[in-house]
Amino acid sequence: MSGDLPEAERRLAAARSFLFVPGDRPERFAKAAGSGAGLVIVDLEDAVAPGDKERARRSAADWPGLGARTVVRVNAPGTPWFDADLAMAAGRGCPVMLPKAEDPAVVAAVAGRVPLIVLVETALGVERAFDVCSVHGVVRAALGNVDLAAQLGVAHDDLTALAYARSRLVTASAAAGIAPPVDGVTTAVRDLAALTRDTDHARRTGFAAKLCIHPFQVGPASDAFVPTETELRWARSVVGAGDSVTTVDGHMIDRPVLERARGMLARAGS
């Protein structure tokens, strides 16, 4: 799919790490851009107090780095800042992360203007995940685990409590034919064990990227979604066995397994 997309959408679909930077902290923008993150998200929503929203938008608009290689998380539809946020991002050719994505009609109105990543972070958004992901112009979905957990009354780092939401988002993305989704944040900023636990679980579940809130998290998160050398050896042996049904290391290999192996090699650039 990603090979048929314009450049901005390809970056959005291929990134393995997304680093948030507060929109009202322009002195951090350049550092975030140099962190090695797949894409930087200039956050005009949760990271910015209501009284600072206008200043944050101006700071984002004034940053020379804002454009196709960044993402703007706008304020949610229905807020006083949404229209101006969206207009600013669209004017700079910048992809948008849409919070509280749950209404396909609202998503469609935004997706017609900018490359779009939908942030699914409400119970209704989870239940409508396929409808939201299927909107033309949506490139990718992300899980807003903290907001969703608050609504559900569970801990945002409880993997069991959010297992249904994660599986729903992965399945919806695949059914809609868009890139695999982006997992939510690990709020323990410098806890590598917690980050590793979360990325391992996300990868096994079917996610292919991670939302990061600190540059420390970027490298480990990006690396977590690259196939391991063991997986690549397996994939090469499967592809090398040909297109017919056969066995490799005692396991049956048929077309679905072969396609998984080819996809793994493609993600690794092999």
Same structural domain, 102 and 124 = yes
Average pLDDT over residues 225-230: 73
What are the pLDDT digits (tens) for 28-44? 999 999 999 999 999 99
CA 34/CA 224 separation, integer angstroms: 19
Both 173 and 58 in one domain: the answer is yes
Nearest to 168 by CA among 120, 214, 203, 216: 120
Same domain, 184 and 243: no
What is the overall mean pLDDT for the chain?
91
> Are both 200 and 173 inside the same structural domain?
yes
Indicate if 112 and 240 belong to the same structural domain.
Answer: no
Residue 75, pLDDT score: 98
Predicted pLDDT of residue 264:
63
Query: Rounded mean pLDDT of 87-101?
Result: 96
Domain holding 154: CATH number?
A: 3.20.20.60
Cβ neighbour number for residue 219 with a 10 Å cutoff: 14
| Model confidence, pTM | 0.87
CA 17 to chain centre: 7
Query: How many domains does one find in the chain?
Result: 2
User: What does the DSSP assignment read for 10-78?
Assistant: HHHHH-SEEEEEETT-GGGHHHHHTTT-SEEEEESSTTS-GGGHHHHHHHHHH-TT-STTEEEEPPPTT
209: exposed, middle or buried (Cβ count in 10 Å: 0-12, 13-18, 19+): buried
Q: Does 267 lie in the same domain as 185?
A: no
Are residues 172 and 41 part of one domain? yes
Q: Is the dihedral of CA 16, 33, 186, 230 positive or negative?
A: positive
- At residue 7 the predicted structure's pLDDT band, cuts being 50, 70 and 90, is confident
Do 13 and 126 lie in one domain? The reply is yes
Does the annotation place 121 within a ligand binding site?
A: yes
Separation between Cα atoms, residue 55 and residue 58, nearest integer Å:
5
pLDDT tens-digit series, residues 38-86: 999 999 999 999 999 999 999 999 999 999 889 999 999 999 999 999 9
Last residue of a domain, one of 226, 241, 256: 226
Q: Is 147 annotated as a binding residue?
A: yes
Give ∠ CA 32-214-158 in degrees, rounded to 5. 145
- The domain in which residue 59 lies consists of 2-226
What pLDDT is attached to residue 65? 95
Pairing verdict, β 116-120 and 96-98: parallel
239 with 153, same domain: the answer is no
pLDDT tens by residue, 207-221: 999 999 999 999 999
Same domain, 253 and 146: no
